[in-house]
Amino acid sequence: MKISCRKKTALNSKKDAVLIPVYRNMRALKALTGKKIEDEINDMIASDYFSYDEKEFSSFFMEIGGKLKKIYLVSVSKDPQDSRYYMELGSTFAKLLKKERISSFSMIAFEDIYMDKKDPQYTAAFLDGFFFGQYSFDVYKSKQEKSYQFDEVEIITSYTKLKRYIDDNAAEWNIQFDNIYMARDLVNTPPADLTPEIFAAKVKEAEGGNLKVTVVDDMAELSEKFPMVYGVGKGSPNLPRMVIMEYNGNPESPKHIALVGKGVTYDSGGTNLKPTGSIEDMKTDMAGAAAMFAVTKTASETGLKVNIKTYIPMVENIIGTNAYKPGDILTSAMGKTVEILNTDAEGRLILADALYTATQSDPEVIIDAATLTGACIIALGKHCAGLFSNRKFLAKNITDISYDIAEDIWELPLLPSYQKRVKSDNADLRNIARQKGEAGSVIAGLFLQEFVDNWPWIHLDIAGPAYIEEEHPIFGKYATGFGIRLLNRFIKVHYAEAN
């Protein structure tokens, strides 16, 4: 979608509609809208039809430039709020325009009604929310509505700083959300249409320029180099893959960061079969892989000056004649042996091989994202991800970013006293603790920690926010793309050099 910014008035807008934020006793709008629109707004506000209920949208028609246009008023707080307030407004407005099939609009910037020249965060947050609200997934519907395509949003402001900010970031916004939409599509896709082979091929399509993609699809090689990935995935007729993406955005630097994403394209639980109520949405168990694919692809397409190596193990975890079983002992890429007590704790196994492989190239930091544990949903709900890290500064740096962009994370402890719970009498480790129902997310984090060899590491358990069945005020329903904006910002702020 086109994002433009003009230093002019809404009266001259050539778009289909105009959006104007208002609050009680607001200063005169004439300088921003022109007298004709200001008079109409004042009449509207004075009518019984209008209320100042916050976040409420009202509308009326008026003629501008010989054409009938729709004017939307949104009632906002008199005082500036945090970013998610404006993200929610943006998401709601996108859905309203989609329903009314309006393809372009002009808007008065929030900074102008607040007379805030310092920070362009309000309008930027609104645009983030608007992008989220525009998403839809309807490719499998047999009777689709006539295609709706939103074209352009035009920001109207009197502030040079805001115009410069919009102009400088418009292209990057579109690239980022194209990749968020891609990731959401992948997570929403039925498992028959996104096997490890198909998923790996989609990642391979992104190769080009300074982005290299390697797909390990030879089972002998996979068994040798990534034995637990092979061990988990060998029971399915849709055989596993290991995908490695290498983005060389800063060739002058020897440094790089490592990303790891869990790619279980379908998780039945294996022999420890998931029950009805828990199995239906297991196409989503590759959301961590989709997120890391999107983050790496975004860095490449925006020319971010950083080097990234991304490891995405892809498996289908189902019952089969060759499937691994409770009681089996698998040997990891690191050499540590793992006793299998539950085949539904498979994500940590494939991540372990990928994390260890990541350590071998001496990264600055390793970050993994995974829909890893239902226990994390019990602890934090569907709107918040669990954060684990073996470095306090890493936990603080990423948490500081998360709130501002409404991608909530909460740090959980890697308690040393629980480490013995992942030790096995029959092997080096076991994949779950024997204490039922206790600290499942912590136990999973401690298991993964065994394979990072004290490298600086962040683990994000996104089991809750990656896929939300009920309408979220910003992200909508189902696949959310959670973590992509968070990691894009985190990498850009802390690891990328200025272009």
Contact 346, 270 (CB under 8 A): yes
Residue 475: the pLDDT is 97
Q: What is the mean pLDDT of residues 25-49?
A: 81
Joined together, the tokens standing for residue 94 give 């996108």
Mean pLDDT score, 306-324: 97
Count of beta carbons in the 10 Å neighbourhood of residue 445: 28
- CA dist 258 → 312, 359, 456, 457, 499 (Å): 11, 8, 10, 9, 21
pLDDT tens string 193-217 = 999 999 999 999 999 999 999 999 9
Give residue 67's pLDDT: 83
Given the candidates 3.40.50.720, 3.40.720.10, 1.10.1240.10, 3.40.220.10, the CATH classification of the domain at 2-171 is 3.40.220.10
Q: What is the mean pLDDT of the chain?
A: 94
- Catalytic residues, by residue number, are 274, 348
pLDDT exceeds cutoff 70 at 146: no
| Percent of the chain residues topping a pLDDT of 90 | 85
24 versus 382: which is more confidently predicted? 382
Task: Kindly indicate the confidence band of residue 115, based on its pLDDT and cuts at 50, 70 and 90.
Answer: confident
Q: Which of 132-146, 150-164, 231-245, 458-472 has the lowest mean pLDDT?
A: 132-146
Question: Quick count: other Cβ atoms within 10 Å of Cβ 467?
Answer: 23
pLDDT: is 229 or 43 the higher one? Answer: 229
Is residue 30 over pLDDT 80?
A: no
Q: Is the pLDDT of residue 220 over 80?
A: yes
Distance CA 334, CA 336 (A): 6
Residue 70 has pLDDT above 90, yes or no: yes
pTM (predicted TM-score)? 0.96
Which CATH architecture best describes the domain 189-494? 3-Layer(aba) Sandwich (3.40)
Output the pLDDT for position 440.
Answer: 97
274-287 pLDDT per residue, tens: 999 999 999 999 99
In the numeric block, the tokens 């309203």 are attached to 96
**In this structure, is the dihedral angle defined by the CA atoms of residues 165, 169, 170 and 173, taken in order, positive or negative?**
negative
The mean per-residue pLDDT over the stretch 452-481 comes to 97
What are the b/e assignments for 209-222, b being 16+ CB within 10 Å? eebebebbbeeeeb
Domain boundaries, the chain: 2-171, 189-494
Residues 6+ apart with CB under 8 A from 81: none
Angle made by CA atoms 336, 337, 338, in degrees to the nearest 5: 120
Amino acid 273: pLDDT: 96
Residue 8 reports pLDDT greater than 80? no
pLDDT tens figures, 424-436: 999 999 999 999 8
Grade residue 170 by pLDDT with cuts at 50, 70 and 90: very high
Contact indicator for 41, 28 with CB cutoff of 8 Å: no
The first and second tokens of residue 356, run together, are 């260890």
- 219 residue type, one letter: M
The yes-or-no verdict on residue 181 having pLDDT over 70 is yes
